[in-house]
Amino acid sequence: MNDMEGFEIRVEIPVAWGEMDALGHVNNIFYFRYFETARMKYFDLAGILEMMRETGIGPILAETSCRFRAPLRYPEVIFAGARVKSIGKSSFVMEYIIASDTLGTVATGTGVIIMYDYRSGVKVDVPVITRKAIEIIEKKGMPGEGGSDL
């Protein structure tokens, strides 16, 4: 789908009837669930989930936002996409999209991810291996401090 160009990581999700609320549209919280599903697919492919299991260093969602562009109803199959827009010292910024063949772009969103040592309870630098993995997924050097050095 054209709307998802630039999003290398995509998941296909069937909207559940029960995700609609009393106004007859998919409730706002499920857009964030769809974003999360795309984010986790991204984390999985970038080796972040495996790193977290092995080292205790993993991601924390520090901020997120959604702009609702079109109402969504059951039945519909949507695609959720995630990409990394920029990487900083200890965090990176993601962009999300939800789109369908029939509706085009349904929503767009952002997320700020902080890397965190779950064992010592402190914020840590984005590991080099994670930075590399993200650059490979995005197929280009990432903007952001330090990003151009890799």
Q: Where are the alpha helices (DSSP H) in 46-117?
A: 48-55
The CA distance from 117 to 28, in Å, is 31
Tell me if 124 contacts its own copies by CB under 8 A: no
Radius of gyration, alpha carbons of the chain:
16
Tell me if 62 contacts its own copies by CB under 8 A: yes
Compare residues 67 and 89 and give the one whose CB is closer to its own copies: 67
Among 3, 10, 32, 131, binds its own copies (CB under 8 A): 32
CB of 36 to its own copies, least distance (A): 5
Residue pair 79/4 in contact (Cβ under 8 Å)? The answer is: yes
Tell me if 16 contacts its own copies by CB under 8 A: yes
Tell me if 21 contacts its own copies by CB under 8 A: yes
Compare residues 78 and 84 and give the one whose CB is closer to its own copies: 78
CB of 118 to its own copies, least distance (A): 8
Q: Give the tokens for residue 29.
A: 């919280």
The CA distance from 24 to 37, in Å, is 23
Among 9, 10, 36, 93, binds its own copies (CB under 8 A): 36
The CA distance from 96 to 116, in Å, is 22
Non-local CB neighbours of 135 within 8 Å, separated by 6+ positions = 141, 142, 147, 150
- The site for its own copies, by CB under 8 A, has a size of 34
Compare residues 21 and 117 and give the one whose CB is closer to its own copies: 21
Tell me if 12 contacts its own copies by CB under 8 A: yes
Residue pair 73/112 in contact (Cβ under 8 Å)? The answer is: no
Footprint of its own copies (CB under 8 A): 11-14, 16-18, 20-24, 27-30, 32-33, 36-37, 40, 44, 58, 60-68, 74-75
